[in-house]
Amino acid sequence: MRTAPVVPVLMYHHVTPSKGMITTSPENFENQLAWLKRHGYRSLTCADFAQHLNGHPVAHKSILITFDDGYLDNWVYAYPLLKRYGFNAALFLVTSWIGEGPKRQHLGQGVLPETPMHHECTRRIAAGRIDDVMLRWSEVEHMRNDGVFEFHSHSHTHKRWDKISPENRLVHVARELDLSRQTLQEKLGEVSDHFCWPEGYFEQDYIPIAQQAGFRYLYTTTPYGQNRPGTDPAGIYRASVRNRGGKMFGQRVWIARNPMVGPVYNRWRLWKRSNRKHE
């Protein structure tokens, strides 16, 4: 078996027809999955991906599909499409945002619930109307039992930790991680050692706190590197997936996993970014 030198981790937030930032339309999402399927890709579980980082071989064309936060549109659109194409994904939940109540309708089931754009989701969450836009535990349970989504922690409240006063910050981080673990344990009967930083924001001194809380695999929003055997599990790279069709998406995946072209591309993007900052 040819094994993968690099496994790209794809990062999604929303799959919805509502236009906005960090959103992929259902049509483009389907095209992206179709591209992956046509080109023989396999989606890994987080446990498979951990094996890859630890030096155990995984299939040549492997990817890890991840979602952040836990929006309702992940149930309405992403879940049925992933299932249709035979892929699985990991979802990092903001555990205090997940609601109670019956499952809502999803693609293929008649009248679908409203799934607003990102800014509107943020507005409703701030206004206390979290259930309008976020998943419920019943939906989480259904997707989990179906083997399409696995669920991990993305903190308890998604608070920007850098906005907390420095003297309280580390205590707060430890408490959030603990609450998030407790919630997953209570609701799902288990909690993993995979964790995604809220807003991708973290300082070096948060890492030992996350590790002490029981998280070993820490997912960032940094795209400028490749996940190879031996890559530090405390700094997993993820590539944000834009709202683009199958072909453009395919080129991005090809570059991200190419052991020669990927690092050159990443250096070029970093260089471009540093030039923008100095303008």
176 contacts Zn ion (rule: CB under 5 A): no
Type of residue numbered 50 = A
Strand partners, 3: 59
Residues 215 and 250: their CA atoms lie apart, in Å, by: 31
Least distance to Zn ion, CB of residue 170, Å: 20
193 contacts Zn ion (rule: CB under 5 A): no
Please answer whether residues 105 and 111 qualify as being in contact, where contact means their C-beta atoms are separated by less than 8 angstroms: yes
Q: Rank residues 125 and 213 by Cβ distance to Zn ion and give the closer one.
A: 125
Q: Rank residues 198 and 225 by Cβ distance to Zn ion and give the closer one.
A: 198
Q: Quick one: DSSP state of residue 114?
A: P
Residue whose beta carbon is closest to Zn ion: 68
Q: Rank residues 4 and 196 by Cβ distance to Zn ion and give the closer one.
A: 196
Number of residues counted as binding Zn ion (CB under 5 A): 2
Helix (H) or strand (E) holding 40: none
What Å distances lie between residue 114 and 132, 170, 215, CA to CA?
8, 38, 34
Least distance to Zn ion, CB of residue 221, Å: 9
Least distance to Zn ion, CB of residue 34, Å: 27
Please answer whether residues 46 and 258 qualify as being in contact, where contact means their C-beta atoms are separated by less than 8 angstroms: no
- Angle value at C-alpha 74, between 108 and 29, nearest 5 degrees: 75
H helix and E strand count, the chain: 10, 10
69 contacts Zn ion (rule: CB under 5 A): yes
For the chain, the straight-line distance linking the first and the last C-alpha, in angstroms and rounded, comes to 48
Q: Rank residues 14 and 181 by Cβ distance to Zn ion and give the closer one.
A: 14
Which of the ranges 20-28, 64-72, 109-117, 222-230 carries the binding residues for Zn ion, by CB under 5 A? 64-72
Type of residue numbered 258 = N
Which of the ranges 60-68, 132-140, 141-149, 206-214 carries the binding residues for Zn ion, by CB under 5 A? 60-68
Q: Rank residues 13 and 257 by Cβ distance to Zn ion and give the closer one.
A: 13
Q: Rank residues 6 and 10 by Cβ distance to Zn ion and give the closer one.
A: 10
Least distance to Zn ion, CB of residue 246, Å: 26
Least distance to Zn ion, CB of residue 238, Å: 12
Q: Rank residues 69 and 73 by Cβ distance to Zn ion and give the closer one.
A: 69
When binding is defined by CB under 5 A, the residue of 14, 16, 68, 135 that contacts Zn ion is: 68
Residues 91 and 45: their CA atoms lie apart, in Å, by: 11
SS3 14: strand
Strand partners, 236: 219
Least distance to Zn ion, CB of residue 197, Å: 8
Q: Rank residues 68 and 139 by Cβ distance to Zn ion and give the closer one.
A: 68
Least distance to Zn ion, CB of residue 14, Å: 11
Angle at which helices 246-257 and 26-38 pack, to 10 degrees?
50
Least distance to Zn ion, CB of residue 226, Å: 23
228: tokens are 């190879």
Binding site for Zn ion (CB under 5 A): 68-69
